[in-house]
Structure 1
Amino acid sequence: MKEIVAYQEKAHDQLVDIWYQAVRHTHTFLTEEDIEFYKQLVQNQALKAAEVWMELNEHKEPTGFIGLDGVNIEMLFVDPKYHGKGIGSRLIQFAEKIKGSELKVDVNEQNEKASAFYKRYGFVQTGRSEVDGSGRPFPLLHLELRK
């Protein structure tokens, strides 16, 4: 039985690992130094700064998570072993349920799989930035849910 539950401190390291595995799998444009920089942010700040919800599998292990700040999706990561099984969509549906359908997300322009995923879900591009939230040269696409 899959369920979505609020962040639990005991799952922190598992969520960091899910982030790491997913980034290794999808963010091929990042260098080792970039990945280490962002991993420290996720490990030390990001998971505690956002409203995080995680999907648990039948063994009560996290398989993916979403981090929200109001209606902004700050992070959405799924363990690559579970890609294509609907976890990302279920997490967005859950966010819609608790936040409404005005959801927004910034996605790395170079992460074409993520862009395609959000667009399939109904997000449309409303803008673009040359740098990411840390001021690094990774362009972001600004997307909003339009249903």
Structure 2
Amino acid sequence: MLNQIVPYQESYHDKLIDIWYRAVKLTHTFLTDEDIEFYHQMLQSGALRQVEIWLELSENKEPSGFIGLDGTKIEMLFIDPDYHRKGIGSRLIKHAEAIKGSHLQVDVNEQNDAAYAFYKGSGFVQTGRSELDGSGRPFPLLHLELKS
């Protein structure tokens, strides 16, 4: 059985929060534990339910990664660290492009070099920069758009 991309179901909520937490601890080394807890609380308080979530299920039917969309904007893309570098992020972006069109946008933390490199390798180009993140915190964002 191949991996499949499916829409969000409430039964996956806690697993997705766990994937987010472990991925952020690994990849967002510029955040303090207090910063991570701030964002963790936002997710636990319902942030996942405010966007359109698609997730990839592994062969054992467990979520291995997810993408959150608000229209054509990628609001979140997190992959279980046990599944990094297996093409899940690329497949989720291709799925988003298939359902939303090729005008996808994403904001990436400037300090997250790996995420920037991933999106650049996926065809995204920088179109702007903000000093603060979406929560008004001092984590600069790079604004990227998918080249069509």
Instruction: Indicate whether the TM-score tops 0.5.
Output: yes
Distance in 1 (CA, whole Å) between partners of 2:45 and 2:12 is 14
What does residue range 23-102 of structure 1 map to in structure 2 within 5 Å? 23-102=24-103
Distance in 1 (CA, whole Å) between partners of 2:125 and 2:23 is 23
Asked if 1:121 is matched to 2:122, the reply is yes
Residues 26-52 of structure 1: CA distance to partner in whole angstroms, max 9, x if unpaired? 000000100000001111121000000
Q: Secondary structure at the match of 1:18?
A: helix
What's the offset of the Cα at 1:79? 0.4
Equivalent pairs counted in the alignment come to: 147
What's the offset of the Cα at 1:91? 0.1
The amino acid that maps onto 2:59 is: E
What does residue 142 of structure 1 align with? 143
Q: Secondary structure at the match of 2:129?
A: strand
User: Any gaps of 5 or more consecutive residues in structure 1?
Assistant: none
The amino acid that maps onto 2:74 is: I
What's the offset of the Cα at 1:131? 0.3
Distance in 2 (CA, whole Å) between partners of 1:21 and 1:43 is 14
Q: Secondary structure at the match of 1:144?
A: strand
Identity across matched positions, percent = 71
Distance in 1 (CA, whole Å) between partners of 2:44 and 2:94 is 26
Distance in 1 (CA, whole Å) between partners of 2:58 and 2:46 is 25
What's the offset of the Cα at 1:146? 0.2
TM-score, scaled relative to structure 2: 0.98
Distance in 1 (CA, whole Å) between partners of 2:94 and 2:44 is 26
Q: Secondary structure at the match of 1:42?
A: helix
Mean CA deviation greater in 28-37 or 39-48: 39-48
Distance in 2 (CA, whole Å) between partners of 1:15 and 1:38 is 14
Query: CA RMSD of the aligned region, Å?
Result: 0.5
Ranges of 4+ aligned residues in structure 1 off by more than 2 Å: none
What does residue 15 of structure 1 align with? 16
